[in-house]
């Protein structure tokens, strides 16, 4: 059974840092570096789509210092790291309520997607200012704004109206750090995704964990309600 789309909720960066007596921000820095490694491991295994939840609609509730640092990391990934993705033939896509992000991030998103649009080897999808309920509400608003009547709306139409509407559904969603919930991640597209919850904090996720997850996925019987 081929895994085409892997999605990850990279939880535990702050806990990882606290356990080591490090500043919280160091956990985020190590988590960001881990995303690049996972991207390369996925390429080597023929996984076409890797989706990472980079910043949720709820993350704005964190301290101003932490939010500012996360925005700096996101800006770094979308600007100075572009060569990393271009050299590996990776297309970069960003999904979420982008218009509410700082203007420099919005500009960086547009430029990063344009610069990497010809990448054919794989696609890294970053969910920024993303929440599953917000995504569905926004999609429904888009349909109503176009004048569709409620009785005319289909599942396919809703899918296409979502921020993530042109992505395939995730085959497997992994959440690290022991939490066993999705917290609204991929609420619509992830309806039939296989789920895997790992005790490890995200910065500790290694290549062997990816291989173990792939073996677990291959052992699952996906019936899709049949």
List, for residues 14-27, the tens digit of each pLDDT value: 999 999 999 999 99
pLDDT tens digit sequence for 132-160: 999 999 999 999 999 999 899 999 999 99
220 is in an annotated binding site: no
* Structural domain includes residue 61: yes
Token representation of residue 49: 């789509």
Query: Is residue 62 annotated as involved in ligand binding?
Result: yes
Q: Does the annotation place 60 within a ligand binding site?
A: yes
Q: How far is CA 100 from CA 25, 72, 103, 129, in A?
A: 23, 16, 8, 8
Residue 144 counted as domain residue: no
Q: Is residue 152 part of a domain?
A: no
Provide the whole-model pTM. Answer: 0.95
Is 66:24 a contact under the CB 8 Å cutoff? yes
Q: Is residue 14 part of a domain?
A: yes
Residue 179 placed within a domain: yes
Q: Does the annotation flag 11 for ligand binding?
A: yes
193 domain-assigned: yes
- pLDDT in the model for residue 221: 83
Q: Which domain holds residue 78?
A: 5-131+171-219
**Average pLDDT of adjacent 10-residue blocks, the chain of 226 residues:** 94 96 94 95 97 96 95 94 95 97 97 97 98 96 92 94 96 97 97 97 98 96 74
Residue 106 lies in a domain: yes
- Selection from 159, 162, 93, 161 nearest residue 128 by Cα: 93
Is 59 catalytic? The answer is yes
Task: Judge whether 77 and 108 are in contact, CB under 8 Å.
Answer: no
CATH code of 28's domain: 3.40.1180.10
State the catalytic residue, choosing from 11, 125, 129, 171.
11
**Binding residue per annotation — 133?**
no
User: Strand order of the sheet with strand 122-130?
Assistant: 90-95, 122-130, 49-56, 5-9, 172-175, 194-197
What is the predicted pLDDT for the residue at 204?
97
Does 45 show up as a binding residue in the annotation?
A: no
pLDDT at 226: 67
**Domain-embedded: residue 165:** no
> Cα separation of 224 and 98, whole Å?
32
Q: Catalytic residue among 59, 72, 142, 204, which?
A: 59
Q: How many domains does the chain have?
A: 1
* Catalytic residue flag (residue 11): yes
The pLDDT value recorded for residue 172 is 98
Give the DSSP H or E segment for 50. Answer: strand 49-56
């Amino acid at each position: 059974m081929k895994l085409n789309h892997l999605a990850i909720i990279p939880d535990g960066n702050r806990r990882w840092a606290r356990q080591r007596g490090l500043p919280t921000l160091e956990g985020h820095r190590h988590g960001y570096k881990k995303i690049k490694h996972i991207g390369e491991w996925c390429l080597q295994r023929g996984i076409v789509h890797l989706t990472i939840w980079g910043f949720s609609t709820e993350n704005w509730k964190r301290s101003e210092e932490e939010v500012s640092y996360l925005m700096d990391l996101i800006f770094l990934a979308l600007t100075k790291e572009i060569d990393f993705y271009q050299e590996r033939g990776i297309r970069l896509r960003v999904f979420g309520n982008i218009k509410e992000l700082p203007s420099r991030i919005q500009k960086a998103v547009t430029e990063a997607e344009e610069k990497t649009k010809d990448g054919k080897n794989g696609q890294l999808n970053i969910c920024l200012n993303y929440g599953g309920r917000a995504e569905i509400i926004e999609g429904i608003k888009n349909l109503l704004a176009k004048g569709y009547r409620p009785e005319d709306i289909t599942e396919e139409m809703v899918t296409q109206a979502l921020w993530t509407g042109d992505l395939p559904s995730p085959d497997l969603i992994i959440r690290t750090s022991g939490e066993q919930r999705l917290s609204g991640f991929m609420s619509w597209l992830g309806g039939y995704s296989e789920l895997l919850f790992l005790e490890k904090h995200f910065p500790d996720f290694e290549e062997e964990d990816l291989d173990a997850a792939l073996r677990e996925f291959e052992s699952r019987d996906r019936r899709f309600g049949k």
